[in-house]
């Protein structure tokens, strides 16, 4: 499975993933103590949905194009960040680094990794004047060992890979194992694309094998799973914030109306070892 962000910026999987991310950030913002976020696969930060890549696929039309200009009661922070980058028409879509940066208070921090030389350079240039953001051109999976735990001792590790590597799921499993060993109390959110059940099942199983005992799995599929098309996406959240399952259910109910087609489905369930 291959997922290149520039071609899919703002599609239905991005809407679910990023709206759900803002729910976790909202939880972290409820307490005055500072937090840190490690974003393992930063990309370029923001995307032009009028670019050649985005226009070629037109996936934005079935994603953020159906949400922009509307009210998203379940995830207001998500639309607020998008609106801050656009005027009347939609051109700029924020990736996870920009969404996270948009939420940061003065003492909060974002640590973002991007291995690709050109993308990493663009990311560094974009955030070079923001002292709350540090950009590292390095393997994001390896960073879970090198950069955890953060001094703040509270926060999130957001693992959002492009699924270009054949060993992607194995690398995710290693990162979760390392993360649990280094920072067992942190929140870990792993995103994955859905064509069938296999990828999500393996990541959920890996989270339990790593040692996490409180794990939540949320999936939104605007299209029927047939093993071929990109039906939707999911998140495995380790150490999920209190009552975020309720927020995710509200989000899924709202998005399924806006994005859903024939055979649409969603689920928010705890992951158990049975």
State yes or no: is 196 an active-site residue: no
Report the sign of the C-alpha dihedral through residues 24, 264, 230, 207, in that order.
positive
CA angle 61, 200, 157 (to 5 degrees): 85
Q: Catalytic pick from 39, 61, 160, 167?
A: 160
Distance, in Å, from the CA atom of 46 to the CA atom of 56, rounded to the nearest integer, reads 18
Q: b/e per residue, 216-243, with b = 16+ CB within 10 A?
A: bbbbbbbbebeeeebbbbbbbbbbbbee
Residue matched to tokens 């890979």: 161
CA angle 15, 21, 23 (to 5 degrees): 105
Distance, in Å, from the CA atom of 246 to the CA atom of 248, rounded to the nearest integer, reads 5
Residues labelled as active-site residues: 160
């Amino acid at each position: 499975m291959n997922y290149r962000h520039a071609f899919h910026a703002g599609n239905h999987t991005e809407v679910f993933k990023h709206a759900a991310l803002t729910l976790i950030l909202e939880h972290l913002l409820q307490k005055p103590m500072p937090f840190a976020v490690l974003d393992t696969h930063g990309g370029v930060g923001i995307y032009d949905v009028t670019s050649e890549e985005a226009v070629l696929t037109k996936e934005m039309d079935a994603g953020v194009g159906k949400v922009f200009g509307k009210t998203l009661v379940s995830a207001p922070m998500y639309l607020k960040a998008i609106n801050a980058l656009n005027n009347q028409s939609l051109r700029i879509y924020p990736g996870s680094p920009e969404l996270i940066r948009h939420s940061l208070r003065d003492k909060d921090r974002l640590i973002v990794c991007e291995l690709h030389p050109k993308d990493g350079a663009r990311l560094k240039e974009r955030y070079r004047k923001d002292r709350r953001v540090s950009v590292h051109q390095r393997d994001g999976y390896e960073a879970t060992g090198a950069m955890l735990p953060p001094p703040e001792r509270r926060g999130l590790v957001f693992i959002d890979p492009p699924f270009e590597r054949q060993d992607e799921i194995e690398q995710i499993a290693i990162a979760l194992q390392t993360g649990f060993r280094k920072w067992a109390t942190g929140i870990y959110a792993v995103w994955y694309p859905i064509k069938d059940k296999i990828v999500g099942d393996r990541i959920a199983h890996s989270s339990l094998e790593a040692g996490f005992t409180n794990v939540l799995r949320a999936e939104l599929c605007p299209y029927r799973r047939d093993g071929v098309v990109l039906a939707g996406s999911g998140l495995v959240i380790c150490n999920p914030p209190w009552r975020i399952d309720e927020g995710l259910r509200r989000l899924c109910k709202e998005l399924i109306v806006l994005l859903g087609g024939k055979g649409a489905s969603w689920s928010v369930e705890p992951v158990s070892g049975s």
